[in-house]
Structure 1
Amino acid sequence: MKRIHINASQSYDVIIEEHALSRITDYILPLKGPCPVIIVSDDNVASHYMDTVSAQLTEKGYTVHQYVFPHGEEEKNAHRLIDLVEFMASKSLTRKDLLIALGGGVVGDMAGFAAATYLRGIDYIQIPTSLLSAVDSSVGGKTAVNLEAGKNLWGAFKQPILVLCDPTTLNTLPREEWINGCGEVIKYGFLNVPGLLTQLEHKPLVDHPDTVSDIIARCVQAKADIVEQDERETGVRALLNLGHTFGHGIEKATHFETPHGNAVAIGMMLMAKGAVFMDGADPDMVAKLQTLLEAHYLPTTTKVTKAEILDAAKHDKKSQGSTIKIVVPVSYGHAKLKVVTHEELANYL
């Protein structure tokens, strides 16, 4: 078992342990005694794990309700969020009760945002079941849904009271979801964790899933270190958006047919090439990044147009008036924050 403590406005532990899902109440009971609880999941994940989680909670005296919605990024929208909150109200959930997010990033974002706003805030727990959510979205308290204008534009900061990651749940993931998660894993390697890149070079995660517990722990620790410095993303936390400015534009333009981790991989590649042109970065960095992305079967190019990507950037959360804060890779394993005009951003493409 690996336990990583997050010091934030709501301090909590991230527990990474194989087969933890089979004894979930060992971790929940010390934090929250028997009460009404709503488990939020999608139809893919619920078919695998909902019965296991529900039965354990019921046995210990919790009153369990289930909210299951169709899988997919397109479900992370305002209509689905409101439906979830209405369901919570219909079950008379109070401020003393609990929400559990059982699933990947879409489930975690949806449940977290509902927990942040229902009755002005109730407790929730993240149980990530995808690689991407395990290494990134379940930790740090950023929650949001997508709007027509762009990705993650309506949200709130809300820390969970626990993140319980059982790496054995990743065994049910299709191969493409392992690949998708690797986009976020490689991102962490550029946030002053170059040793992670070396590890991935020698043992690409897609082909060496036995290393996943260690990889998750390294990524979570890297995120914890950043979140503890800047919980509300007023400074250094923006580094976690490496590859996201262009990546979000690719997601939107393809109507989310390009999944998030793949889009982030392409976004990192585009920004790395732009950094060579605009900031004099070492071209060898680009070659090494491309090799690493390809070793994880991630895409490095897109047919989305420059105009579509730049249009999406105007709605980016890091955009302020005529400028936008971007994350620029400066060398292999390192990145920096930079404020540019939208006209200058075009030159990075």
Structure 2
Amino acid sequence: MKKKPVSIRNIADELKVSVTTVSFVLNGKAKEKHISKEMTKKVLDYAKLINYRPNQIAQSLRTGKSKILVFMVEDISNNFFSKIARIFEDIAYDLGYKVIFCSNENDDEKSNELISVFKFRQVDGFVIVPSPGIKNTIENLIKDNIPVVLLDRFFEGLDCGSVVIDNEKASFDATLHLIHNQFKNIGFITIAPDHTQMQGRLSGYVKAVSENGLKPITLEIPYDEVYKGKGKEYIKRFLDKETGLDAVFFTTNYLAQIGLEVFKENKPSLINDLGIVSFDDNDMYKIYSPTITSVSQPLEEISNSLMEVLLPLLKKKDVMTEEAHKIMLKTELIIRESSLRKMR
């Protein structure tokens, strides 16, 4: 026969104290309710002895808090998002929260479905990397008094907390670095700019080349096409067409990976002939030959900032009364061999 779980009443009966006293102690309110240190220790020691675990559903109904957060990104397997998720999980755990991770694949229908499911399950809050068409969904979450923080991108005109980087400056600086190293025909390979972060990266690149009298050479690939595995075809056609390129700037680490595969499979000399910069650092970039220059985002700072914005909302009874906190962070250009001046 399955053993019944131990309840607060069982503890109270065993120690011959009230259920209320046990509840206050186990919920960390002993001092507030003037319960003696001796009684507090007695309850905690016994709870530990019998390996007591609170009924999370009952606790959620009683407090209105599930102590669960949702961390929704574009693709949790992406190196950038998975590293931030891992850091954020530790921060949340230390504050008493558990985190559910999921991927929306940059798809509005999937985003809305996942948000609806987790909202029904009464999670306490969301960190969301939003797909392009869910602005109204995010707005409705806020109206329903559910804490939300946007990561990596945001919606213009939406009063919602967010943590992003200065994409335009990061892209401008990386492009300028290539120009200063005598690269004149810099290809810019990006996801079609449906989001603010890609718009910023494109804008920074165009500004840098234009200010230096150069011509923008861009390839914009729809995200769906990359997700379907067609990124290689786009990049190969681009390289075949733009034969005068002397450098390439990839706006995501997965585009850089695809591009490097195209180089290897079609013309291995390109990895040495072209100047190369990738947005988002990757541990593998340190062991490539040549090593790959990258725009590195501050993962620890991003993760801490997410909780800095989210935690006050979790503590508020009405999130609409909290002014939206929007944080923009700086990146670091990690210069390696791939972007150094080539010997012609």
Q: TM-score surpassing 0.5?
A: no
Select the structure of larger CA radius of gyration.
Answer: 2
- Shorter-chain TM-score: what band? 0.3 to 0.5
